[in-house]
Each structure stands twice: as C-alpha cells, then as structure tokens.
C-alpha cells in the first residue's frame, strides 16, 4: 500500500512566472469541472461520473509538457488532458450529456472518444488495448521520421492485463517513442495493489523489457511537468519507450456509485494533506508568484466558462434516433475506384493473363499494394526475411525494407492495436495472423477497437487482417478452424473470403483501398491447389459483390434448378459435386445450378442471393465452418423472410460437424461437409 512520508516539495527551477501560473490555472480547471459535475450528479442531471480528484497533476503536468500536435491517450481520470488541450467546455459537456454535438453523437459517454483536432485518443472500457494503439501511433511517427512523442496512460490495475505486457514488449523491441504513464493510485476499483501485483514498484517491471523507467510524485505538478518535458525532448532525439510511474491517489470512488468504504480512512487523511492543487497554490502564494486576488480571479473566470458551457450543452435538444444515420456511420465511406472489375472469373477482353495459384495472386496483390501505398506497413510473425510460414511475403524485405515489412513478437493484441494506431496517424496497416486460429488473442482489438472506431468517433481503421484459415491439411484443432462467423456478428468489420486467385488479388487490392477494417480469409488448402489465369497489373474487385457461376446447364436457355450459396473451399466442393451429377438424365430437372460464390460475407450481397432464389425456388447453403451458429443460418433466415413466396422447398444448410477439427485424415474428412452436402443437394432436388 502506498504511504505518504512528507508534504510536496516544489522546485521552480528556471521556470518563468508565466509558466508557473499557467500550470496553476490548468490545475484548477479540471477540479472545478469535477466539483460541478458532482453537484449535477446529485441533482440527477447526469447519470455517471468517474472522478480524478486528487490525480490532476499527472494529467495537467504531462499535457502541458508535450507539444500540441503530439498524441495523448488518456484514461477516465485524465480530465486535465482534455482541458489543457483546449477542448471547448460546451463540446465537452455535450459529450458528457450524450448530445449530438459531442464527439460521439451520443453513442458513447464521458472520455470514451477521440479527436484528431486535439490529438487525443480516448479509451475503451477494456483499458489495456489503448497501449497497443499508442505503439502504432508512435511507429507512424518513427516511419515518417517525425520527431514526436506519444503519451499513453494506464492505471495500476490495468497493468495486470496482457495488453500491458504485449504493448511494452513491442515498444521496447521496436524502439518506439512512447511514454507509458502508470498512474499508481493504489487501487483497481476496490482491489488494492497488494492483490494486483507483488512487485514493490512498477519501475521494476521495466527491467524485464530492457526499458528505462522513472518514478515521480504524481501529485507534484512541477515534477510531472519537468520530467515529461525532459523525457520527451530526449525521446525525440533518441526514439525509445520509457515507463513513467506516477505515485498518486484518488480521493473518491472508482465511480461515484461505488463509494469508498473499502479504503482505509487514514489514507484519505494522509493524501488529503498532499492535495496537488492546494499545495501548489500554497507554494505560489508563499513565493509571491500568485496573489489571493489573482487566484480568485482565475476561479471566477473558470466557473463562468463552465456555466456558459453547461448552458449551451444543456440547452441543446436531446438526440432523436435516426436509423439511417446510425447504420450509415458503421462504416467509413469507401472511395470510388477507377477501373473496378465486377467479375474477375474471366479476364477483360483484350487483356492478357498469367497463370497464378491463389498464393501467388495474394503475394502479387500485396506487392502491388505496397508499391502504390507508400504508407502501408506489413506486420506479422516471421513475415520478413523468412517470408511468412506460407512464403507469401518472400522477397518483400529486399524490395520494401524491414521498416515496412516487420517481424512481430507473439503479441497479436498489441500488433492489431498498432494497426489502428498507424491508421490514426495517417497510415495503412496489414496484420497477418500466422493462422486464423491465433486471432482469438486479439479479439478485443478487432471487435471493440477496430470495428467501433468509425461509428464511435469518426476514425477510420485502415487495417487489413489476413487470416490463413481452413481444414483439409491435417493440422488439427488449433490450425484448421474456420472462424469467419466469429466476426460476422460484429458491425463495422468487412469480411472477405475469396475462392479463386483472380478474385483474391482484386479483393485484396480493394481491401487496401478501403478505410474500414477488413478481415481477409485465405484458405490454406487452396494456396497451391487453386490456379487460373490472373490479370497482371493493378485492379480491384468491389467488396460486397457476389459472383454467380452457372453449372451443368442443359444448353442455351436452360434454367437452373437450385441455388447453391457458398464461399471459399465450399465453392470448389460445390463445383465438384454438381459436375458429378448427370444432369442430362435427371428429368424433370431443367439443367443445373446457380452457384453463388459470395466472395464477401460482410457486406453480404443479398440482392444477388434473392434474385437467384426467386428464379430457382430452391436454395442450399454450404460452408466449411461448423453448422451450428454458422453464417448459413443467417442466410437461410434472410431467404425465408424475403423469398418465402418463391420457395418450392425448405432452405437447406450443410456445414462441418459440431466438433473441434480433428487431426487424423479419416476423422477430418468425416468432419468436413462435402459428402453430406452431396446427399442433401440430391434430397433438395427431389423435394
């Protein structure tokens, strides 16, 4: 438990009176805002408040020490960060009140927002992931050769999360210009430090990362200001991460509703004597730098500013729900691309092609994207000199260098967060999951950071996550999963899953043009087995547009008997099964099937699906993923709701067994749905 041995010792050094008074005014502002918010909370005019009373110095001192265009990633007790950066009171209170003029249009609360205008990236409730985002922002500065520092906050409780370890490790390995500021206030909500960690001080943790560390009195605004200013100046000259431990204490509960009964009253008495604002005011008064009159004027000015801001924010009408706007803002607008191809199954007339396997087409697409987008960074385990476990990036280091083709530690969450950070800093990122199975280590970053960034505060997440996926290669339950449905439920993500080389290349290039996060699935068993002529040079295929492949039709004018809806390996299975059937003798069938290769799962091309089903009257959905909870269930429901009057039979589905993926070939073959699909297709045709 933290104890206080002595009152705060201030050292003005060579600071001018102007600087000292400016720090005073900035310290007072968040305290007065908080006092007003507590009154409003008791009056029932706001619903929730996370107090930073007692911790103002670590926010104000650090924000004052940095340049205005350097990013800060604060937590919910860093109100001083927002006020120092000059965010208008009315805008801030509108955010707290959930008004339309707030930063999140009422979609999130308090400090859960970011703003490029003020170079602030707010937290999400999971706390730890923002440290990985800070890594990415700092990496962007490093690659652009900008002498900038990124400051990210976490609490002592947040350091127990895996993201803390991953982010510090990545920052240390890559020498990223980041200050990791730990506000050590002794509690993670109600859990004391003694139950959170055994080390006596956080600066000891830095040793394990090969990182410098500094411990300061977080209640001494001059010490915070001087330390951060000096560290930042040093880091700008010699980029590297530094861990900064700020010893402090919060004088109120985790949030107002939680109270403080779990805290020893003696601690409040001790830390009350070390109030960062009262002590600093006293210092300035005793040094004749500040007068009581001037102090009173400061407070009057700030209170007036607060009241005016509240009046504007509270005067704004409450938000009316607009469904069109809510859905529209899930995705950032996608630019219209010149020369976009609707269908890459056949080459455009007059254009030559080159035989390529799926793996070659993906590699070609990546290389072309890297040449076009000089701000694109590739990140993944073993992707540099080794070329990746599938050799897709073989030779990339020689052409693009290790700065842009980066081997990563085994830190999926931090690297995915870094992808978002790069996007925030005006760059593009590709993150390769060595196997799609490993993405579970980064679900928070994908589902809560990448997917929600645009909808929450208008920030594009220009990140492509490549996902080598699928079974059929005897790799067992941890290298064979089809987990695309994990992301199908998450608004804000785009999901692409090509079956052919030409589609893979065009869709991958489109993904790099898209400002939204794209989960790009690549079936491992198709890497070297699927081949076709692929157009050379740069082209794109629109994400969200399916491809219809007519199969085994009886001559000109024949109509399909059934619609088969699938993607990835399922396309190849369906083609094989349909071609086995003797459609010429299968009277009274009209001649075959419409095979819909979805190519994109989100957005889903329902128009193409419905058009085919209304024509054939029968539909079957095939996917490699396990049957229960698979994407097929949602597609089936959509067909039933929208095409019921046209159906001549129940909508059918087939997928893999509801078990993990087995290793042995006979068991894996039984697990996969190909044979069951053939039986079910015949059953549907005979219905």
Domain boundary among 505, 535, 565: 535
According to the 3-state scheme, what is the secondary structure of 499-527? Answer: CCHHHHHHHHHHHHHCCCCEEEEEEHHHC
Q: Is residue 398 part of a domain?
A: yes
Q: Are residues 469 and 522 in the same domain?
A: yes
Does an H or E element contain 17, and which? helix 17-42
Counted domains in the chain: 3
CA-CA distance, 398 to 519, in Å (whole number)? Answer: 27
How sure is the predictor about 337, in pLDDT bands with cuts at 50, 70 and 90?
confident
CATH number of 618's domain: 3.40.50.920
Are both 292 and 396 inside the same structural domain?
A: no
- Same domain for 146 and 123: yes
Question: 456-484 pLDDT, tens per residue?
Answer: 999 999 999 999 999 999 898 999 899 99
| 493 shares its domain with 597 | no
| pLDDT recorded at residue 684 | 94
CA neighbours closer than 13 Å in the CB half-sphere of residue 434: 19
Residues 575 and 458 in one domain: no
Report the C-alpha gap between 136 and 153 in whole angstroms.
15
What pLDDT, on the 0 to 100 scale, is given for residue 3?
45
Q: What is the CATH number of the domain that holds 157?
A: 3.40.50.970
Most trustworthy range by pLDDT among 38-47, 187-196, 601-610: 601-610
User: Is residue 344 assigned to a domain?
Assistant: no
Give yes or no: residues 310 and 395 share one domain. no
Whether the per-residue pLDDT at 1 is higher than 50: the answer is: no
Whether 41 maps to a domain, the answer reads: yes
Q: Decide which of 535, 556, 591 is a domain's last residue.
A: 535
pLDDT tens, position by position, 168-202? 999 999 999 999 999 988 766 667 677 777 777 88
**Structure-token pair, residue 39:** 């009154």
3-state DSSP percent of the chain in helix, strand and coil, to 5: 45, 15, 40
Task: Say whether both 603 and 568 belong to one domain.
Answer: yes
The answer to whether residues 202 and 125 belong to one domain is yes
Within a domain: 453:
yes
129 located within any domain: yes
Checking DSSP bridges between strand 353-357 and strand 531-535, what pairing results, if any?
antiparallel
Residues 6+ apart with CB under 8 A from 35: none
User: Each residue of 67-108: pLDDT tens digit?
Assistant: 999 999 999 889 999 999 999 999 999 998 899 999 999 998
φ/ψ of residue 497, rounded to 5: -150, 85
**Domain-embedded: residue 321:** no
What are the catalytic residues? 479
Containing structural domain, residue 596: 547-685
Q: Which of 535, 562, 580 is the last residue of a domain?
A: 535
Residues 379, 238 within the same domain: no
Contact 556, 500 (CB under 8 A): no
Place of tokens 């099964």: 577
Same domain, 115 and 249: yes
Mean pLDDT along residues 281-292: 95
Question: What does the pLDDT read at residue 209?
Answer: 95
What percentage of the chain has pLDDT greater than the value 90? 77
| 11: in domain | no
* 521 and 567 inside one domain: no
Tokens of 401: 């260098």
3-state secondary structure 75-120: CCCCHHHHHHCCCCHHHHHHHHHCCCCCCCCCCCCCCCCEECCCCE
Kindly indicate the confidence band of residue 249, based on its pLDDT and cuts at 50, 70 and 90.
confident
Give the pLDDT score at 5: 47
311 CB neighbour count, 10 Å cutoff: 13
What would the mean pLDDT of 535-554 be, rounded to a whole number?
A: 90
Tell me what the pLDDT averaged over the chain comes to. 91
Report the pLDDT value the prediction gives residue 366, as an integer from 0 to 100. Answer: 98
Same domain for 257 and 289:
yes
d(CA 130, CA 132): 5
d(CA 290, CA 412): 51
What is residue 424's predicted lDDT score, i.e. its pLDDT? Answer: 98
Q: How confident is the model over 388-421, as pLDDT tens digits?
A: 999 999 999 999 999 999 999 999 999 999 999 9
For residue 2, being part of any structural domain is answered with no
Confidence of residue 4 (pLDDT cuts 50, 70, 90): very low
What percent of the chain is modeled with pLDDT above 70?
93
Return the residue matching tokens 């997928």. 655
């Amino acid at each position: 438990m933290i104890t206080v041995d002595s009152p705060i010792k201030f050292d003005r050094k060579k600071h001018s009176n102007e600087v000292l008074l400016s720090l005073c005014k900035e310290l007072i502002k968040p305290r007065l805002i908080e006092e007003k918010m507590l009154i409003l909370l008791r009056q029932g005019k706001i619903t929730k408040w996370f107090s930073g009373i007692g911790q103002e110095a670590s926010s104000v001192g650090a924000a004052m020490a940095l340049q205005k265009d350097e990013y800060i990633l604060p937590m919910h007790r860093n109100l001083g960060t927002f006020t120092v950066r000059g965010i208008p009171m009315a805008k801030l209170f509108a955010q707290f009140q959930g008004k339309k003029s707030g930063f999140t249009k009422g979609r999130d609360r308090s400090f859960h927002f970011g703003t490029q205008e003020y170079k602030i990236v707010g937290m999400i409730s999971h706390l730890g992931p923002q440290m990985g985002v800070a890594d990415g922002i700092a990496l962007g500065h490093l690659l652009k050769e900008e002498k900038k520092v990124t400051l990210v906050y976490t609490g002592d409780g947040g350091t127990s999360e895996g993201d803390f370890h991953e982010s510090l490790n990545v920052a240390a390995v890559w020498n990223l210009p980041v200050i990791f500021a730990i506000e050590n206030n002794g509690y993670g909500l109600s859990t004391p430090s003694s139950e959170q960690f055994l080390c006596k001080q956080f600066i000891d943790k830095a040793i394990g990362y090969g990182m410098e560390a500094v411990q300061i009195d977080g209640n001494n605004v001059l010490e915070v200001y001087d330390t951060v200013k000096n560290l930042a100046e040093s880091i700008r000259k010699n980029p590297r991460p530094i861990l900064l431990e700020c010893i402090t204490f919060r004088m109120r509960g985790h949030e107002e509703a939680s109270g403080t009964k779990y805290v020893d009253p003696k601690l409040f008495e001790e830390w009350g004597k070390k109030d960062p604002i009262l002590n600093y005011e006293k210092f300035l008064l005793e040094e004749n730098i500040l007068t009581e009159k001037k102090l009173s004027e400061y407070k009057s000015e700030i209170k007036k500013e607060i009241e005016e801001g509240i009046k504007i924010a509270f005067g704004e009408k409450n938000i009316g729900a607009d469904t069109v706007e809510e859905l529209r803002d899930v995705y950032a607008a996608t630019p219209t691309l010149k020369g976009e191809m609707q269908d890459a199954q056949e080459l455009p007339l007059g254009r030559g092609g080159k035989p390529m396997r799926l793996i070659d087409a993906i590699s070609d697409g990546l290389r072309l994207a890297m040449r076009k987008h000089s701000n694109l960074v590739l990140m993944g385990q073993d992707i540099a000199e080794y070329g990746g476990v599938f050799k897709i990036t073989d030779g990339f280091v020689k052409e693009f260098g290790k700065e842009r083709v980066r081997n990563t530690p085994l830190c999926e969450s931090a690297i995915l967060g870094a992808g978002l950070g790069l996007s925030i800093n005006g760059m593009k990122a590709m993150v390769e999951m060595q196997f799609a199975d490993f993405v579970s280590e980064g679900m928070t970053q994908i589902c809560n950071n990448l997917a929600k960034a645009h909808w929450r505060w208008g920030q594009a997440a220009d990140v492509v996550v490549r996902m080598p996926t699928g079974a059929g290669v005897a790799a067992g339950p941890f290298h064979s999963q089809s987990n695309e449905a994990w992301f199908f439920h998450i608004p804000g993500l785009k999901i692409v899953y090509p079956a052919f080389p030409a589609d893979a290349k065009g869709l991958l290039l489109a993904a790099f043009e898209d400002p939204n996060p794209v989960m790009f699935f690549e079936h491992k068993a198709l890497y070297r087995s699927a081949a076709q002529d692929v157009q050379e040079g740069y082209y794109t295929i629109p994400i969200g547009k399916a491809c219809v492949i007519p199969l085994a039709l009886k001559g000109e004018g024949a109509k399909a008997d059934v619609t088969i809806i699938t993607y990835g390996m399922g396309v190849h299975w369906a083609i094989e099964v349909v071609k086995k059937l003797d459609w010429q003798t299968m009277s009274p069938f009209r001649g075959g099937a419409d095979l819909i290769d979805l190519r994109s799962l989100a957005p889903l091309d329902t128009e193409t699906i419905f058009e085919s089903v209304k024509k054939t009257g029968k539909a079957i959905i095939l996917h490699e993923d396990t049957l229960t909870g698979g994407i097929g269930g949602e597609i089936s429901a959509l067909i039933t709701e929208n095409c019921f009057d046209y159906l001549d039979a129940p909508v059918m589905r087939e997928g893999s067994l509801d078990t993990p993926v087995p290793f042995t070939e006979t068991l894996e073959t039984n697990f996969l749905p190909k044979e069951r699909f053939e039986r079910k297709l015949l059953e549907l045709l005979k219905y």
